[in-house]
A = this chain, B = another copy of it.
């Protein structure tokens, strides 16, 4: 059963990334009763997209566009948000370092807007599950909307939770924390994580990763490792290739640790 099978022909309800030739992109959902007001020229009748295929081009006269099936990266970057962004570069490294894969059971502490939840859900599908916790009901609703658009809602269980409450699950394969004070969660993380498995914490300041590293070490976690991931764009053009002149130079520090058997 290939639940996530990709497809070429666009149907009612499908997500489409419309990318104009000036690099502006829009993520829309095909709804035959709606129009979409683009940034240049006439609105698009969304019903006109039905029957087209991903990869097809549209010609609006002055503007041209290509229709794409959104990737996980697109859903992350286009997620509606009221909290900080998670960058695909960081999400990708977390999936790699935690060894999350199809079938994994993962706890996420701090749902926020659900951007990282998207990455976790896409990775554990179709048989695994993400158990995500947030103290704010409005964030959970926002995240549900973002997961629904990406058709990943069924791989996630949402939980509202006050700080210090234990997680419902035990023996999970990985835990990701995206909260400002992760050190308060260390003992609960230890109670729910499978022996030999990893926890990741994302935080923007060195003060936070320092405090979290100390808390993890005191609690007996092993292989504590912190890093930052940087992506620099390269303009590859005949005879004049060079790095891009500006880049995002900081998002989050990433901290990883392994839970040994106690």
A222 and B2 contact, CB distance less than 8 A: no
Does A149 sit at the interface, judged by CB under 8 A? no
Does A260 sit at the interface, judged by CB under 8 A? yes
**Cα(A261)–Cα(B89), bound, Å:** 28
**Residues on B with beta carbons closer than 8 Å to the beta carbon of A104:** 6
**Cα(A251)–Cα(B232), bound, Å:** 13
Does A126 sit at the interface, judged by CB under 8 A? yes
A234 and B226 contact, CB distance less than 8 A: yes
Given A194-B55, A245-B251, is A125 in contact with B101 using a C-beta cutoff of 8 Å? Answer: yes
Stretch at the interface among A32-40, A68-76, A159-167: A68-76
Name the residue on B nearest A91 (C-beta): B96
A244 and B249 contact, CB distance less than 8 A: yes
Chain A interface bracket (under 10, 10 to 19, 20 to 34, 35 or more): 35 or more
**Residues on B with beta carbons closer than 8 Å to the beta carbon of A69:** 99, 196-197
26 contacts between A and B (CB under 8 A): A1-B127, A5-B103, A53-B261, A54-B194, A55-B194, A55-B195, A55-B259, A57-B261, A66-B196, A67-B196, A68-B196, A72-B96, A89-B93, A93-B231, A95-B95, A101-B125, A204-B242, A205-B240, A206-B207, A207-B210, A213-B236, A213-B237, A214-B238, A245-B248, A245-B249, A245-B250
**Cα(A67)–Cα(B258), bound, Å:** 11
Name the residue on B nearest A71 (C-beta): B99
Closest 7 interchain pairs by CB?
A55-B195, A71-B99, A55-B196, A54-B196, A247-B249, A213-B236, A243-B250
Interface residues of A (CB under 8 A from B): 1-6, 8, 19, 53-57, 66-69, 71-73, 88-89, 91-93, 95-99, 101-104, 122-123, 125-128, 173, 194-198, 204-207, 209-210, 212-214, 222-251, 253, 255, 258-261
Q: How many copies of this chain does the complex contain?
A: 4
**Cα(A225)–Cα(B234), bound, Å:** 8
**Cα(A232)–Cα(B247), bound, Å:** 11
Name the residue on B nearest A255 (C-beta): B236
**Residues on B with beta carbons closer than 8 Å to the beta carbon of A1:** 127
A100 → chain B, closest Cβ, in Å? 9
Complex partner residue of A232 from B55, B230, B231, CB under 8 angstroms? B230
